[in-house]
Structure 1
Amino acid sequence: MATIRISKASVDAAMPLASGDVILWDDRIAGFGLKVTPAGLKVYIYRYRVAKPGQAAQTAPRKYTIGRHGDLTPDQARKRAQELAAMVAQGVDPRQQELDARAAREATVTLVEEQARVQRDLAFSRIAKLWLEHYKNDMARRASSVAMATLIVNRYLMPALGDTPLPHVGRSQLQPVIDSIPSHKRGIRRAVFAYSSVLWGWAMRRGYIDANPILAMEKPPAPAARERVLTDNELTRVYQAAETLHPIWAAFFKLLVLTGQRRSEVAGIMWEELDSATATWTIPAGRAKNAKAHLVPLAPVAVWLLDAQAGGATWPQRGYILTTTGRTPVSGISKAKAALDTVMSNEGPQVDAWRLHDIRRTVATGLQRLGVRFEVTEAVLNHVSGSKGGVAGVYQRHDWANEKRSALEAWAGHVERLMTGITDTNVVRMEGGR
């Protein structure tokens, strides 16, 4: 194999052959050479065999391209060949090192791109928005459940997590969110925990995360069961105070008392849910908490309240009954309750703290005290528990319609008696009671 001293003169003099590459080897540095292609391209190369210390050299030589002539001078190429020779002498494979470095660079670029994707596409703010849209579009969801989910995301989760990538959110980020809620608000703590579990479970099923961290967290204790029942005197004051409010709110609070239905169901009552001929109100499954349509017989005083809202005995065919806009159900229930409490405190002794749901419990308790059968009370409240749960719920198909009417009319009679001044006792047996 002929060798020459690779220099500017020898490189300039090197001529291509039409039959193939011409390779000129340096006479000083073994493996250092110049390759001339048939097209006249001149490239500096280095050929070598690598062996680790104490081992025989590799039998198959490897080639390393140093660079093109023009981009490098012969002296620069020689210097690089010397560096490569030193690496080989130490058992380092220059070509493999270059490949490893390239792979490392590509891995770094991939990692950076993946981190950017996670930061952009999997930010909590974005995933939470997608989940809420999915949650709202689920036809089985009640409006109150959607409202609670939205509240929890916007008021509790978003301020704490913001654009943090969802895969980076774990127990150490979620637990402080729950701990920051005052301990006496057990209900909202429990709700944040429950809705967060639903959100993260949905994200896991979509492949956004690998695990649901909520599953490894301790569930907050449930709120203590409430037992507050309004006395007849308190119920009288609630009913009378309601009469001082705007007619819409007066009707709202009175219908709560007369029907025993949930506040969201009463607030969203619509004319198309009513049948004036039979004096009944059918709460559709989509608005009922247990997703079961519910027939509520209307006592004469309740019908009178609805007549007042309609402006006469002929009821509209459709639309919200309790509304200030005509397009949406009445809102601002908490403010209305506060106004009611203010009236009550201004017109008599202080009433112990109470909630609107206590009215529903009061109706249930009042029906029992009037002698109404437990099954009928459950039917009035649209409860799927107790007498309507389990096997009994499968085979017991009686709808208690007549019994519910008798019960609610007896209860309305009790309320009317209270309004006429019978407030000295908490137990009054009404006509029609059992």
Structure 2
Amino acid sequence: MAQGKITKRSVDAMQAGDRDAFLWDTDTRGFGVKITPAGKRVYLLQYRMGGRGATTRRYTIGSHGAWTPAAAEAEAKRLLMLVSQGKNPADDKRQRVREATDLTFDAVADRFETLEVPKRWVKSGGFVKDALRLHLRPKLGKRALPSITGQEIVALLDDLKGGPAMRRNVYAVAHRLFRWSQGRGEIDRNPLEGVEAPKPVASRDRVLSDNELRLVWIASDELPRAFCALVRLLLLTGQRRDEVAALEWQELDRDRGEWLLPSARAKNNREHLVPLSPQAVAELDALAGGEAWPRKGYVLTTDGGKSHVSGYSKAKRKLDGEIADLIEDDAAPVLPWRFHDLRRSVATGLQRLRIPSDWIEAIQNRRKAGVAGTYQRYAFADEKREALATWGGHVAGLLAVGDNVVPISAAK
């Protein structure tokens, strides 16, 4: 059995014969290099699991060239450490191969999206997938899940360009994915255990003034028709952005002037009747091209009803630019706002019009807490219709300033 220090020179000097030949290292026990009859040189480790009486095993480290002698010896020492701990290097190799395929972040995220997201996030699964696609996969996609540390996730969150709400939401998605994978036995521990979540975002209190609402309405006329209608329906109905954006014609009844939001689409899983003011009906007429509304398909669409609008951030930036252009040079700019602030602005505006709080809660489908939520089931259908008609009239009044009358709806 040939022995000697394994170096580049000694490996290059090995000669191929009619069968495999070996050179065993004199410093690292069990570390060797094999040369085949074809002249291929391969580094390997020979070891036993369980002492002298156990079967001798060989583990292939890799080919000469892909591995240097020094790197191969370092790997042999690492494997010998595993052997001393009672761990089989072959099992370690299988685990490393699995980590490079089945346990990459991308692979686990694919399973997470298929198996867990539809069950846990029935209505907001799109956000979870966006958080993975836009923020987590680009940085972690090829990494083996067991190798990812909490410090890496914290650094990733610190680098996010969004605000505190974005960081907290991405943290929540990552934490849930790691916890889910741990529960399936894919990783030993969640790297975010003990890592403090980003602080909750303070409750927003932005309410747009009547003049700001007027500017929003006028500026929306410069958006593509579907996004213009989205903005105006949010302003007229006070409903949630995603519920309005995914509105379908089959949910609407023009003769009755009603929108029936199904429980499957409502945030609180409760069917919700939204009376339509004349102003809301006018917007829908403009989308339908007349009073005969389609019977199916998405209302706010750019592809003939096959899918509903998205890309809200791009539309909002366009809207903000149009609003800025409407403001006089010596006037104060409109402070930052979000689409959800329209919902709060509608509720506040209804309060100013002396609409009772119970009516407003019913309009916005907010569930009462405690005993009241359990036993008070009155739907306030007539009251909601009266309140939204009053609000629609108020909005129409905002658009008539002096001789400058802005039409409620215009064909685009």
The two structures have a TM-score, normalised by structure 1, of 0.69
Aligned residue in 1 for 2:22: none
Verify: 1:99 aligned to 2:54, yes or no. yes
Verify: 1:247 aligned to 2:228, yes or no. no
Matches within 5 A, 1:143-182: 145-182=124-161
Question: How far apart are residue 224 of structure 1 and its match?
Answer: 2.3
Aligned residue in 2 for 1:52: none
Question: Contact (CA 8 Å) 1:135, 1:146: kept in 2 or not?
Answer: no
Question: How far apart are residue 285 of structure 1 and its match?
Answer: 2.3
Question: Contact (CA 8 Å) 1:261, 1:360: kept in 2 or not?
Answer: yes
Question: Contact (CA 8 Å) 2:117, 2:128: kept in 1 or not?
Answer: no
Partners in 1 of 2:95 and 2:227 — Cα distance? 55
Deviation string 1:73-121 (CA, Å, 9 cap, x unpaired) is xxxxxxxxxxxxxxxxxxxxxx952527549599222222232223322
Aligned residue in 2 for 1:336: 315
Report the structure number with the largest CA radius of gyration.
1
Partners in 1 of 2:148 and 2:224 — Cα distance? 47
Verify: 1:347 aligned to 2:326, yes or no. yes
Q: Could you say what secondary structure the match of 2:193 adopts?
A: helix
Partners in 1 of 2:374 and 2:189 — Cα distance? 37
Verify: 1:134 aligned to 2:89, yes or no. no
Partners in 1 of 2:286 and 2:398 — Cα distance? 21
Verify: 1:232 aligned to 2:236, yes or no. no
Question: How far apart are residue 257 of structure 1 and its match?
Answer: 0.8
Question: How far apart are residue 179 of structure 1 and its match?
Answer: 2.2
List alignment gaps of at least 5 residues for structure 1: 1-94, 423-434
Aligned residue in 2 for 1:124: 105
Identity between Structure 1 and Structure 2 (%): 40
Question: How far apart are residue 413 of structure 1 and its match?
Answer: 1.1
Q: Could you say what secondary structure the match of 2:347 adopts?
A: helix
Deviation string 1:305-333 (CA, Å, 9 cap, x unpaired) is 21221122221111111111021112332
Partners in 2 of 1:211 and 1:291 — Cα distance? 34
Q: Could you say what secondary structure the match of 1:328 adopts?
A: coil
Deviation string 1:52-85 (CA, Å, 9 cap, x unpaired) is xxxxxxxxxxxxxxxxxxxxxxxxxxxxxxxxxx
* Number of positions where the alignment pairs a residue of Structure 1 with one of Structure 2: 323
Partners in 2 of 1:194 and 1:100 — Cα distance? 49
Question: How far apart are residue 130 of structure 1 and its match?
Answer: 0.8
Question: Which of these residues, 362, 368, 382, is aligned with residue 379 of structure 1?
Answer: 362
Verify: 1:406 aligned to 2:386, yes or no. yes
Q: Which AA in structure 2 matches 1:315?
A: W
Report which stretch shifted further, 344-353 or 255-264: 344-353
Aligned residue in 2 for 1:23: none
Partners in 1 of 2:256 and 2:121 — Cα distance? 29
Deviation string 1:25-59 (CA, Å, 9 cap, x unpaired) is xxxxxxxxxxxxxxxxxxxxxxxxxxxxxxxxxxx
Partners in 1 of 2:258 and 2:381 — Cα distance? 10
Matches within 5 A, 1:38-117: 97=52, 99=54, 101-102=56-57, 107-117=88-98
Aligned residue in 2 for 1:416: 396
Deviation string 1:255-301 (CA, Å, 9 cap, x unpaired) is 11100112222221110011222211112223222232221110111
Question: Contact (CA 8 Å) 1:300, 1:409: kept in 2 or not?
Answer: yes
- Cα 1:139–1:353 change in 2 (3 A) is closer
- Cα 1:310–1:351 change in 2 (3 A) is same
Deviation string 1:142-173 (CA, Å, 9 cap, x unpaired) is 1xx22221122122222322222222223233
Partners in 2 of 1:244 and 1:178 — Cα distance? 35
Matches within 5 A, 1:169-208: 169-182=148-161, 185-208=163-186
Q: Could you say what secondary structure the match of 2:187 adopts?
A: coil
Q: Which AA in structure 2 matches 1:109?
A: A
Partners in 1 of 2:210 and 2:87 — Cα distance? 78
Verify: 1:276 aligned to 2:254, yes or no. yes
Deviation string 1:337-358 (CA, Å, 9 cap, x unpaired) is 2222222222223322222111
Q: Could you say what secondary structure the match of 1:281 adopts?
A: strand
Q: Could you say what secondary structure the match of 2:351 adopts?
A: helix
Question: Contact (CA 8 Å) 1:197, 1:214: kept in 2 or not?
Answer: yes
Question: How far apart are residue 247 of structure 1 and its match?
Answer: 2.9
Q: Could you say what secondary structure the match of 2:292 adopts?
A: coil
List alignment gaps of at least 5 residues for structure 2: 1-49, 59-82, 403-412
Question: Contact (CA 8 Å) 1:376, 1:404: kept in 2 or not?
Answer: yes
Question: How far apart are residue 250 of structure 1 and its match?
Answer: 2.4
